[in-house]
Amino acid sequence: MNIKSKCIYFLFLSLLVLSYNLCTNNSQIPNDEFFKYQISFFNDGSKVTVPRVSYKKSPIELNPVEGIHLNILPAWEITTGSADTIVAVMDDGFFYSHEDIKQNLWKNAGETGLDSDGNLKETNGLDDDQNGYVDDVMGYDFYFNDPDPDCYIFEGKLDSVIAPYWHSIPALGIIGARGNNEIGVAGINWEVSMMLLKMMAQGSVSIKDPCSRVPKAAEAIRYAVDNSARVINWSGFVSCLDQEKLKPLQDAIDYAEEKGVLIVTGAGNNKENIDLEENYTFPSCFQNENLLVVAEIDFDGYLYEVERDSKYVGGSNFGVQNVDIAALSQNFTTGLRHNHSVYRLSGGTSNSAPVVSGVAALIFSIRPDLDGLEVKEILMRSATRLQGLQGKVKSGGMVNAFDALKLAQSYPQNQ
């Protein structure tokens, strides 16, 4: 082979290697139809137009500051999640047949298959796994006390009307919409097992006593812990300030802490400092180490604020003692419309909390030996520090998926 031929050969070989590396580095970009709109997950700081909803023209222009994103693409080079990781989602009922969610739901192995009489365990009316709940295949409805955690609840203004509710659907998509399936969006975890724990609508007029949800929430937490959940996402709160009546909830969170289960909750949307006693909300203001309270930031890296009119000014709650970390909540994710699967731009701390829950699940997928307190430490230490969060949240930063996974990889093994 002459010198010219050798040069051509090595040039060709170099191009092949470059092509392979490019393909490898991009191998974890999902093929989901609307991933291009998920700029909260990854963006280069360019101005972008995204739809508010998938089913009609509804453009909105977003101007992210470079670096204000979840940093998920390099994280997906490490892991895209695992069905072995169970994330319990406590919310107001679930549209679990959504096309992009249904494959990533938890299946209770003790309530699936056939019983000794050849009947389906999931519908035989028996507590086959003897966990105290009958036919709880994907979770449980703690409000109506039945095994179907569907999205039907009392309509917010009329306690005599049952209607479908949408609140939980974005959170499910953020944590675990099926990734790389050519439809919809990609969740932080392409594979995961989401346990559905129905709590009833936040603030529904059917709830006469603001403390009535406390025992239901406590029961749901204990159910999640006893059925092997590693993370509990609760994008809500109880409207109760009575410390005596709050005790069952405190005890349940203590129980989760003893078992190493991480509980992630939103800070709330009243633009208040919840370090101040007059602004306390629960469970966010309990002092458990396994609680991870999440604020909401905008694409400039500051606490999110909204002013709808002269009478309503809101935004993310904050507090350097009671709020731990922040995340973007403007996520293009799963939605519900007329009982059909749709996609929409979501918001509020109800949708920043599941971002952190999703990253926690990614960590557990590669380090199942860790407990919830260790995962919380990893998330806090690896957060991207932002000027706009100094003195506002304990970590001073927003969750960073890639940096969290890198730290998790080097985190000491449990002895």
Burial class (CB in 10 A: 0-12, 13-18, 19+), 231: buried
Same domain, 11 and 66: no
Q: Is residue 415, in this structure, part of any structural domain at all?
A: no
Please check whether residue 137 lies inside any domain of the structure. Answer: yes
Does residue 309 sit within a domain? Answer: yes
User: What letter does residue 150 receive in the DSSP assignment?
Assistant: B
In a shared domain, residues 25 and 161: no
Please indicate, yes or no, if residue 406 is contained in any of the structural domains.
yes
Q: How far is CA 302 from CA 244, 298, 324, 392, in A?
A: 36, 6, 15, 10
Residue spans of the chain under pLDDT 70: 1-27, 154-164, 200-208, 308-313, 415
Residues 3, 125 share a domain: no
Same domain as 154, residue 218:
yes
Specify whether 38 is located in the same domain as 19.
no
- Separation of alpha carbons 289 and 226, rounded Å: 19
Would you list the DSSP string of 229-265? -SEEEE---B----HHHHHHHHHHHHHHHHTT-EEEE
CA angle in degrees (0–180, nearest 5) for 140-144-149: 35
Q: Structural domain of residue 23, as residue ranges?
A: 1-29
Same domain, 166 and 238: yes
Determine the pLDDT at residue 272: 95
Name which of 338, 305, 335 is nearest 167 in CA terms: 335
Q: Do 25 and 38 reside in the same domain of the chain?
A: no
* 139, part of any domain: yes
**Nearest-angstrom CA–CA distance, 257 and 251:** 10
Give the pair of three-digit tokens for residue 292: 């991870």
> Mapping DSSP to helix (H, G, I), strand (E, B) and coil, where does residue 181 land?
coil
Question: Do 6 and 74 share a domain, yes or no?
Answer: no
- Please tell me whether residues 16 and 94 are part of one structural domain: no
For residues 244 and 330, state if they share a domain: yes
Closest residue by Cα to residue 111 from 141, 137, 140, 146 = 137
pLDDT at position 339: 84
pLDDT of residue 143: 86
- Dihedral angle of Cα 157, 338, 172, 284, to the nearest 10 degrees: -10
Q: Give yes or no: residues 103 and 249 share one domain.
A: yes
360 in a structural domain: yes
Q: What is the 3-state secondary structure (H, E, C) of 32-58?
A: CCCHHHCCCCCCCCCCEEEECECCCCC
Could you tell me if 181 and 261 lie in one domain? yes
In the chain, the number of structural domains is 2
- Is 258 in contact with 269 (CB distance < 8 Å)? no
Query: Which pair of structure tokens corresponds to residue 14?
Result: 């170099």
CATH number of the structural domain spanning residue 42: 3.40.50.200
